[in-house]
Structure 1
Amino acid sequence: MTPLRRTIAATGLALVLAAGGCTRADDTVQAGGLDATGTVTMDQQLHDRLPEAVRARGLIRLVTDASYAPMEYFAADGRTIIGFDADLAGALGDVLGIRVEMVVGAFDTALDEVAAGTYDGVLSSMTDTKQRQAKADFVDYLSTGTSILVQRGNVKGITELDDLCGQTVATEKGTYQEEMLQRIRAKCGAAGMSIHRLVTNADTLMELRTGRVAAVLQDYPPASFLATDERTSAFFQLASDQQYETGLFGIAVAKDDTALRDCLRAALQRLIDSGTYADLLARWELSASAVTEATVNGG
């Protein structure tokens, strides 16, 4: 773990378990949106293509469940959201010349709230699936799979998905992992499976840490983080190195908000092309999950 990440993790991760602004006009780079060194600068053309309502408001509001380190979680002050997604939001805002604000909300209702206009989008490690594409469009920014997280020591001897049959397992409501568990349970036969559906990821971790469930299904980045971070590795481990059903994380926006979707995709592509995206991934030790192109609905 790098010193930077160790410092960030130490200030924020305990809270997970217990529970930028516009650039100046003279920084504008008309072609490409980024300067030759990869410094994030405003792209005036992209800014002007943002929906009028967003420009008038002066910010883009993205809902998140900030309990998923290292993707999105609270700093020591209990209010500031940090993590890779938070850094990405800031960089996208710099390219677009507008503040991108992450607002805490419920994961399982996030898409409905975006469709209702409460938020402009979702940035919360949300897997882009065909089912979710019926409600929203996704600007895909990360590739990863699902891992099995167990208590340190793995007393239940869980090493693969079939071993979850006959066990009690926790999942956050509305997640792709909840869908996975339901599919697995359908094949368990008489052994069955008890699934605890909880409001936040922090709730699932508390159940695992206290032995009320045998395992939690999580995306690999947060599961690996918990298994290796010095603050949590005494409590959690990966059942194996296997990643299941690899897919794409996407920023979800309303189906009819094509202007915002296309601006976010273009801004992400500029971050990828400049190397800024790779720098952010490296900062959070997520380089293995990089995408090479900003796509829409690639899940």
Structure 2
Amino acid sequence: MTARSTRSKTATRTRLAAVGSLAVAGALLLTACGDQTDSGGDGSSSESGKANAAPLFSKLPKKIQDAGVVKVGTNAEYAPMEYQEGGKIVGVDPDIAAALGEKLGVTFQFTSGSFDGLITSLNSGRYDVAISSITDTPARQNGLDENGKKLGPGVDFVDYFKAGTAVYVQKGNPKKINSIEDLCGQTAAVQRGTTYEQALQKQSKSCTDGGKKKITIESFDNDTEAQTRVKSGGAVAGVNDYPVAVDLARKADGGNAFQVVGEQVDAGPFGIAVNKDNKELTSALEAAVNAIIEDGTYKKILEKWGAQSGSIDKAAVNGGK
């Protein structure tokens, strides 16, 4: 996160970091590497060069053609978008990536790490792309923090999904929270470095500007910790991307732990983040997203995961406003 990435006004679930998914061909194995989790094969089965018959292979940079692999950074903690299950990274984003790989003739190999470090790792060359429900915002495009301070070169986004911010509470809603505006004077939990953390900060300022008490924002390194805080009653609510919050409410403790309140707000695009110097890869990914939309694969993936609300009609580059 992001939403989910930096899960800005377009601070939707959007795991959005202020600065700034699947099953791929073959078995996806998770191996520990520090605090990182890798998922994917070695790409050795991918064809390269002129022998590759995939329709969009020729659009890829030669380096990726030769490798047969697109290295992907993610934060696999956001079911149904990307999460770990049975030794694999699964979800909407991994399935979309696998479909893109079919069009491009390469394997998308996922590595899971901290959300707030994804863009930095992308720009350092560790990953070719970041796919992690990252909200496409102008700040992230330009490498700015929430105060407009320049922190890095920024990234380009290939937009493939849309989602907004949602508030979830304990089942039964004991504190009668019906919207983010009801959190004035309350404690809310959120993952650090996401756009929904920014949404809480923005709302807290609105609370104090209106003569009400600020929101006590408890930010955690991962979303699981934020969920636990809400479940225990230490925070009256959590804030997340809408599809993630809905999936959480449906599945946690058999649907008995949480509920989503109110409507999603500030819906914005999720994008595949790409280094600004890699325009060729950005163009190839845009073409691949449009190809899976046009042939119906994209719709089937969203239906599989109950994520139809995030459907888009056409890919865009840097469409976040």
Residue pair 1:66, 1:124 contacting (<8 A) in 2 also: yes
Q: Deviations over 1:28-82 (max 9, x none)?
A: 76xxxxxxxxxxxx21xx21231222223221111111110000001123xx100
Aligned pairs (5 A) from 1:193-208: 193-208=215-230
Q: Is the aligned partner of 1:217 residue 2:217?
A: no
- SS of the equivalent of 2:166 reads strand
Q: Is the aligned partner of 1:107 residue 2:107?
A: no
**Structure 1 unpaired stretches of 5+:** 1-19, 30-41
- SS of the equivalent of 2:202 reads helix
TM-score by length of 1: 0.83
Structure 1 runs of 4+ off > 4 angstroms?
A: 20-29
- SS of the equivalent of 1:243 reads strand
Distance 1:96 1:210 in 2: 46
**Per-residue deviation at 1:145?**
1.1
**Per-residue deviation at 1:252?**
0.6
Residue pair 2:46, 2:107 contacting (<8 A) in 1 also: no
Q: 2:273 aligns with which of 249, 252, 271?
A: 252
Q: Is the aligned partner of 1:267 residue 2:277?
A: no
Distance 1:210 1:277 in 2: 37
Q: 1:96 aligns with which of 59, 79, 104?
A: 104
**Per-residue deviation at 1:292?**
0.4
TM-aligned CA distance change 1:27 to 1:83, over 3 Å: farther
Q: 1:184 aligns with which of 172, 196, 203?
A: 203
Q: 1:278 aligns with which of 290, 299, 304?
A: 299
TM-aligned CA distance change 1:196 to 1:230, over 3 Å: closer
- Across the aligned residues of Structure 1 and Structure 2, the Cα RMSD in angstroms comes to 1.9
Residue pair 2:47, 2:68 contacting (<8 A) in 1 also: no
TM-score by length of 2: 0.78
**Per-residue deviation at 1:227?**
1.5
Distance 2:253 2:289 in 1: 32
Q: 1:127 aligns with which of 127, 135, 139?
A: 135
- SS of the equivalent of 2:156 reads strand
Residue pair 1:23, 1:94 contacting (<8 A) in 2 also: no
Residue pair 1:226, 1:232 contacting (<8 A) in 2 also: no
**Alignment: residue pair count:** 263
Q: Is the aligned partner of 1:290 residue 2:298?
A: no
The structure where helix makes up a greater share of residues is: 1
